[in-house]
Amino acid sequence: MDCGVITSKTVLLLLSLIFWGAAAGLGYVGGYVISTYKNYDSFVQDKYTMLPAVIIICVALVMFIIGLIGCCATLRESRVGLGLFLAIILIIFIAEVVAFVMGFIYREKVKTDVQGTMRTVFQKYDGKSSESGVVDYLQEQLQCCGVTNYTDWITTQWFNTTGNNSVPLSCCKQDIKNCTGDLKEPQVLNAQGCAGKVEDGLQNVLTYAMLVILGFAIIKFFGMLSVCVITCKREDNGYQPLYTGVFA
């Protein structure tokens, strides 16, 4: 066995380990994206925006299996096993490219989706329902008020019903005590609207996910090259593998 074959096998074994690590990384990213979207699910009407994250998790599972197949096929120097390894890597590579493109598409769609859905939810605010709790939680956590700013509350049914010329207490700045939400004291209210912050958060998560997908797609490309190298070396040199078995 020449140096080229040894090097190629070493690269493939290392790539198999990388695939296992990548599977863990992608699983984490996919779970993180889904968890983030669930925090804002009341404001994201199109549930297909989570599809890239689901694809990422599915890819992670298959990548773990790929790493196992790659490791076994490389140790046994199996033409069939390496061919299967190459075919699966190619399929995963295509899936990652699709996920990357879909992530880019939905990243732009978030801008138009969030504001419309958020306005609908804010209009249903009554201070008691579960949706009202989501709105209060969002305003407190993001330190925002209204969709675009605190004046959005003036057009809500809740504002007209209460008649006290105030916004929910969740609009108050966290460092201000004795805040009543009175519009006569706008300096104690969070000035920025929630739509912009939610959009930025979702887009940042999608951007992070897309960069991770791109990085692992590049790894897959080098994995395919390594399979081709070791297969071609074996055919050119005409040596027989030491191991035989299922993948032989």
Domain count, the chain: 2
Give the CA angle between residues 144, 149, 155 to the nearest 5°.
120
My answer on whether 93 and 183 are in the same domain is no
Backbone phi and psi for residue 167, each to the nearest 5 degrees, phi listed first: -105, 165
Classify residue 201: in a domain, yes or no.
no
- Whichever domain contains 190, its CATH number is 1.10.1450.10
For the cut 50, the answer to whether the pLDDT of residue 248 exceeds it is no
Q: Which of 238, 242, 233 is nearest to 6 (CA)?
A: 233
pLDDT grade for 171, boundaries at 50, 70 and 90 = very high
My answer on whether 58 and 34 are in the same domain is yes
Query: What would the mean pLDDT of 183-199 be, rounded to a whole number?
Result: 87
For the cut 60, the answer to whether the pLDDT of residue 194 exceeds it is yes
Mean per-residue pLDDT over the chain, rounded: 79
Quote the domain boundaries for residue 151. Answer: 117-195
Classify residue 206: in a domain, yes or no.
no
Query: What would the mean pLDDT of 79-104 be, rounded to a whole number?
Result: 83
My answer on whether 87 and 142 are in the same domain is no
144, 193 Cβ separation under 8 angstroms: yes
For the stretch 3-21, pLDDT in tens is 656 766 777 788 788 878 8
My answer on whether 17 and 84 are in the same domain is yes
My answer on whether 157 and 191 are in the same domain is yes
Burial of 15: CB neighbours in 10 Å, binned 0-12, 13-18, 19+? buried
For the cut 50, the answer to whether the pLDDT of residue 244 exceeds it is no
Q: What is the pLDDT of residue 212?
A: 82
State if pTM tops 0.75: no
CA 29 and chain centroid, separation: 5
- 182 Cβ contact list (under 8 Å, min separation 6): 164, 165, 166
Classify residue 110: in a domain, yes or no.
no
For the stretch 124-164, pLDDT in tens is 888 888 878 888 988 998 899 988 888 889 888 888 888 78
Distances, alpha carbon 213 to alpha carbons 32, 69, 76, 98, 240, in Å = 14, 21, 30, 10, 37
My answer on whether 88 and 133 are in the same domain is no
Q: What is the pLDDT of residue 213?
A: 83
For the cut 80, the answer to whether the pLDDT of residue 196 exceeds it is yes
pLDDT grade for 235, boundaries at 50, 70 and 90 = low
Q: What is the pLDDT of residue 41?
A: 63
Q: In percent, how much of the chain has pLDDT > 90?
A: 2
The residue ranking higher by pLDDT, 119 or 115, is 119
Q: What is the pLDDT of residue 92?
A: 78
- 50 Cβ contact list (under 8 Å, min separation 6): 33, 34, 37
Query: What would the mean pLDDT of 99-103 be, rounded to a whole number?
Result: 82
pLDDT grade for 240, boundaries at 50, 70 and 90 = very low
Burial of 242: CB neighbours in 10 Å, binned 0-12, 13-18, 19+? exposed
Q: Which of 82, 15, 85, 87 is nearest to 234 (CA)?
A: 82
Query: What would the mean pLDDT of 206-234 be, rounded to a whole number?
Result: 78
What distance in Å separates the CA atoms of residue 65 and residue 80, rounded to the nearest whole number?
16
Q: What one-character-per-residue DSSP string does 124-148 give?
A: T--SSSHHHHHHHHHHHHHT--SSS
245: helix, strand or coil: coil
Q: What is the pLDDT of residue 233?
A: 65
For the stretch 9-64, pLDDT in tens is 777 788 788 878 878 888 888 888 777 777 666 665 555 667 777 888 888 888 78
Q: What is the pLDDT of residue 172?
A: 92
